[in-house]
Structure 1
Amino acid sequence: DERSKLQEEMRAARDAVRELRGEFKKKEDEYYNREREIRKQQKEEYEKRRAEQAEERKQRDEERRRRQLENAPEPLYKEIMACEQLIAYIGKVDPRPSAAASEKAAAAEPA
């Protein structure tokens, strides 16, 4: 009689533990489902921000390239300037009269 009574109490205690574990499991599942949902939303927001930033970066890069092309010197600009400077220098130090000076002298002489 006492033994069956104790077995009944043990069974009731085990049932109570199972019930508590079941409730805990439900709440834990709800918690993890909420966490999963929050992480999913955060990931979506992050991906959206990242896509927007990539688009903005792309537009800035295109604008920068366009400005560089507009402001770029003409091709061979350095070489042309070097040649012009060399011509001017040689014109100053060349002992021979330049063609322009010869033309001026010929035009100044009365014919």
Structure 2
Amino acid sequence: MTHSDVRTYRAASIQEALQMVEQDLGFEAVILQTRQIPQKRWLPWQEVREEVEVTAGVGWNITPATFDTDGSQPAATPVAQPSTPPEPEPEPEPEPEPEPEP
């Protein structure tokens, strides 16, 4: 195992995958990504099952989040809400052309 070792595990459930991570990398492992992927099936009428894929690593410099417990500041910074684009201004109607004088 190198200083910053990253490995990917596949299992039938997230619990099984996390047990594999813990046994292989230890308690200091950091989960980098999880996803569900369909298992390949041999016959078209077989039920589709999903596997869980967990990517984990050790040697990552992750600092734990700190929380303000005295209530003077919020524990988390609010996330900026996406702004809605402004509605386009209505196009002015073209002025009628003056009729030519006879």
- TM-score if structure 1 supplies the norm length? 0.21
Relative CO higher for 1 or 2, CA cutoff 8 Å, sep ≥ 6?
2
Structure with the bigger percentage of strand: 2
| Bigger helix fraction | 1
Larger radius of gyration between Structure 1 and Structure 2 = 1
